[in-house]
């Protein structure tokens, strides 16, 4: 993926969902960056790796990786759904019809 596209998607996601903002914890330490969360989401979607593998790559726990994936999918549907996600047409539906 081109760097420009990654950052375009990242900016859209961060502006739409507060979950992806970088926050500080009670001790004042920086939390996970939006880049870390989005990188893991793309890694899970593109390569099909499981959530528990993400700890080795970006230092995200399994629950955080799954939550990031869920939130990202909700954001994509909300932001890009009407332009990029089309309704199925009869040809699409015909592959799912059971033949008796």
Whether 100 maps to a domain, the answer reads no
Predicted local confidence at residue 12, as pLDDT: 93
Q: What are phi and psi of 30, to 5 degrees?
A: -65, 140
**What is the overall mean pLDDT for the chain?**
84
Whether 54 maps to a domain, the answer reads yes
pLDDT digits (tens, 9 = 90+) for 35-78: 989 998 998 888 887 777 766 666 778 888 899 999 999 999 89
Residue 28 Rama label (left phi>0; alpha psi -120 to 50; beta)? left
Domains in the chain, number: 1
Range of the domain at 86: 3-94
Whether 89 maps to a domain, the answer reads yes
Whether 25 maps to a domain, the answer reads yes
């Amino acid at each position: 993926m081109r760097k420009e596209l990654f950052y375009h998607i990242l900016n859209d996601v961060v502006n739409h969902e507060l979950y992806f903002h970088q926050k500080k914890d009670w001790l004042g330490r920086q939390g996970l960056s939006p880049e870390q969360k989005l990188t893991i989401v793309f890694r899970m979607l593109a390569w099909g790796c499981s959530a528990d593998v993400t700890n080795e790559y970006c230092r995200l726990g399994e629950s955080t990786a799954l939550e990031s994936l869920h939130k990202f999918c909700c954001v994509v549907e909300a932001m890009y759904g009407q332009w990029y996600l089309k309704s199925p047409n009869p040809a699409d539906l015909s592959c799912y019809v059971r033949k008796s």
